Amino acid sequence: IKSYSKGQYRKALSEFMEARTDSPDNSEISYYLGLCNVKLGMNEEALVYLEQTVTGSSNLLFIYQSRMILAFLYSLTGRYKLAEFEISKLLESGYTSPQVFSAAAYIAYSQGFTGESVDYLKKALDLDQENANALNSIGYIMAEEDIDAAAAVDYCTRAVKKMPENPAYLDSLGWAYYKAGNIAEARRYLKLAVEKAGDNKLIRQHLNRVVKDSV
């Protein structure tokens, strides 16, 4: 655990594997093996250990966090039904948080359920009005889907105030300004986003679109 806390994930993985040999039924070890694999980008391996944690642990915190990560990993690979299952289990257990509702929103939006996604994000903001991730997500969706450009600018502005160096948030604000018809502010924030994000293709596409339309 000390190695993991220091960011030495490969070393921690090796140490947890050795500990697991001595105690194969230790759910805490399975939990940390899952986390180590996630940090090392070995998502399929992580799924195995996190599922073991969900089914074998009595520690509710480990179970809840494992379900959150499982939902994210499943959604990344397009296994949305499995992702929805993990989120539904969290909600059924009464474990509600801005993170849970934001994850549910991401899964819904990834499948094209825009209205459902916005509803989840509003629930996240009901719990934490200044949650930067939820503010950015709802602002971006409202801009991208042409729902309410003015509201999108407001949400994204609040997210950027919370995390002014985040390139994704700067991109969302720039895109919201573009959809609201404010080309000057759109270019300003999208240029900042490109400077901080480097080779992010989506952000560059947004900036190129704004530059093209301003010529």
- Which of these, 79, 82, 151, lies nearest to 122 by C-alpha position? 151
Amino acid letter, 192: L
| Span 68-125, pLDDT tens digits | 999 999 988 899 999 999 999 999 998 889 999 999 999 999 999 999 999 999 999 9
CA-to-CA separations, 36 to 19, 50, 51, 157, 210, in angstroms, rounded: 14, 11, 14, 35, 41
- Which of these, 149, 134, 155, lies nearest to 180 by C-alpha position? 149
Does pLDDT of 25 surpass 70? no
| Span 115-156, pLDDT tens digits | 999 999 999 999 999 999 999 999 999 999 999 999 999 999
- Per-residue confidence band for 23, with pLDDT thresholds at 50, 70 and 90: low
Q: Per-residue DSSP letters for 168-188?
A: HHHHHHHHHHHHTT-HHHHHH
